[in-house]
Each structure stands twice: as structure tokens, then as C-alpha cells.
Amino acid sequence: MENCLDAQWSLFAKLRLLNKSLVLILAVVVTLFGTGCSRKVSDSSQPKVDKTSASNKNNLSPLTIGVLPAQNPQDQQQMIKLFHTYLEKSLGRRVNFQIAKDYNQAVDWLVEEKLDIAYLGPVTYLEAVERGAKVEPIVATIDKNTGQPWYRACIIVKAESPIKTLKDLKGKRFAFVDKSSTSGYLMPLATFKKLGIEPEQDFAQVIYAGNHSKSMAALEDGVVDAAAANVSSYLKRQKNSQVTSKNTRILWESAPIAQAPIVVSKNLPPKLIRQLKQVYISMPDGIEDITGTESDGYTLVSHTDYTSIQQMRKELNLISRPGK
């Protein structure tokens, strides 16, 4: 029964990646597919979230959700509000959000089993597993700009900057996001290494801004000459700040990166984990992803989606030692 339900949701998640005009028709297939697992067939063309009655809300233990500091805290708190309401209503239990002060703290919380759910980046997920955290990825966002569950890292410079190639960055000031950031550190670092560029030696200054917003702000304010970020964050920031396509430009883009996973503790009951998958896959339009990603829904993911990232970390000798 459980395997059959997982198969239904895996199929429906894949439908989210198809043209939206086909989803309504194809979703019926998911419903019909379910007749092999249950005697009842939903009267809806789309799977419904299994909601727990409101009367039981106070009888269930609350879930604690950790979030990476991908944006400014004030902005993330605003993003959380609407999703917080949706999640509590769908699960029928209280949820508490905690925004980590930095990437390492989010990993620490998972290792210490202080979280039930966490919004991570590909690298922070892998670091958590290496340090012994008992977690598994369940879903990731579908990027609104690509329509796919992947995104791209990028390096941004001022439009009038004399920097034309990555090698021109030598002798310049550069902003990474965090050493645990996939798009804000790992991807550009791997490219620098291939070009024979050693950031700490070849750049005039290297700073670690802490999040994508601060990295781009450092470029805006003239603190650095180039900044690491990702394309989706850059495009979104153009709508809300002084960064525009007229005064800045993308110097470099990476190959596609598997989208950041939402992970759950393996200590959670299997039924609750399945319910969480349903909640995310069934999320209605209009609820913004709380990391600031401009998403077009969610899709199921697994550990194997991040093996290429792990291989890259291995090649760069960035694998954490167990228990570190």
C-alpha cells in the first residue's frame, strides 16, 4: 500500500514538470492509478492533502522547521507567514519556524536532532549527512524561470566594469556567499580551480557575505567588484532593489544544479512523511517559497539527485570528516 501511494505521488510530481495544459488531464491518470491500491477513487482530478481534524491540532506534537538564511531575516519572516498558515491547516498540527543565523547552524540543528524538517542547499544537505544527521530529501522547488527542478549559479559585475572574463577577476575584490553555499561558493570555486585561479591568492580581497542578498548588496554598494549568487535570486532582486539589467550584468553562469532540497528527519513516522510530500506537491499557487526562490510548485527528489554535487566536492577535497 505504501509503495503504491509513493508511486502515485511520484507520478503526480512528474506531471508538475509538464506543460500545465496537460496536467488536469494527466492528473486523472494518477487518480485512476490509485484504484489498484484502494477501493475508493477520489472524486477530484488532483490528489487531495490528507488533512487532520482541527480538534486534534493541539493533541499532536508541533513540528520544528529550520530554514537557511538565504535572504534577509525580515523578508523571510514575511514569506513564512502565508506558508505557515497553509502548513498548519493541511497537517492539522502546529509548526514552528527557526531561521538559522548561518549555514553551519542549520546543519548543527539537524545533527543535534532539533529539527523535524529543514530547507537546505545541496551542499548543506550533504554536509548534514556526512556529520551523521538522519535526514532524507523529499521535495525541491520547480524553478519558475526554467520550469525545471534546477537552477544556475552566476557571478555578477557592474555593467560598466572592465571585467570581461573570469580571468579578469584576478586582483579584484570578490564576494562569495558562504562556504556551505552551492551556488554562492561551490560552483564558482570549481570553475575557478579549472582555470587555475586561486581566489584567496589571486583576488585582492575575498569576503563571505552570509546570504545571496548580502552578496549582491556588496556589489551594489561598491564593496566588491564581483559577486557570486544564483540566476533566480539575481532576477528576483531586480524587481525589488537598485540592481537592474542596465547597471549590472552576468559575467558567468554555471551548468544546471539540482534544486535545493527540503529534508525531513528519518525519525518522523512514515505516514507523516508521506503526508508532507502531499502537502508540498499539492500546494496552491500564490504561496511563495520561504527561501525566496521564485517557484512553480514542488517535485519529489531523492539522495541520488545530489550525487554529482557530492562528486564535485570530493574532487575539490571539501568532504567533511564523519563526526566533524
Mean pLDDT to the nearest integer, 302-312: 96
User: What integer pLDDT is reported at residue 306 of this predicted model?
Assistant: 97
At residue 238, the pLDDT reads: 86
The C-alpha cell of 237 is what?
532582486
Mean pLDDT of 296-303: 94
Distance CA 100, CA 66 (A): 7
Distance CA 80, CA 117 (A): 14
- C-alpha span between 158 and 227 (Å, rounded): 10
With a pLDDT cut of 70, the percent of the chain lying above it is: 80
User: Number of H helices and number of E strands within the chain?
Assistant: 11, 13
Domains annotated on the chain, with CATH: 49-144+259-315 (3.40.190.10), 153-255 (3.40.190.10)
Q: Regarding predicted confidence, which is higher, 180 or 70? A: 180
The Cα 20–Cα 15 span in angstroms is 8
Q: How far apart are CA 230 and CA 207, in angstroms?
A: 17
Strands 257-258 and 95-99 come out as: unpaired
Q: What is the rounded average pLDDT for all residues in the chain?
A: 84
What 3-state class would DSSP assign to 77?
helix
pTM check: above 0.75: yes
pLDDT of residue 144: 85
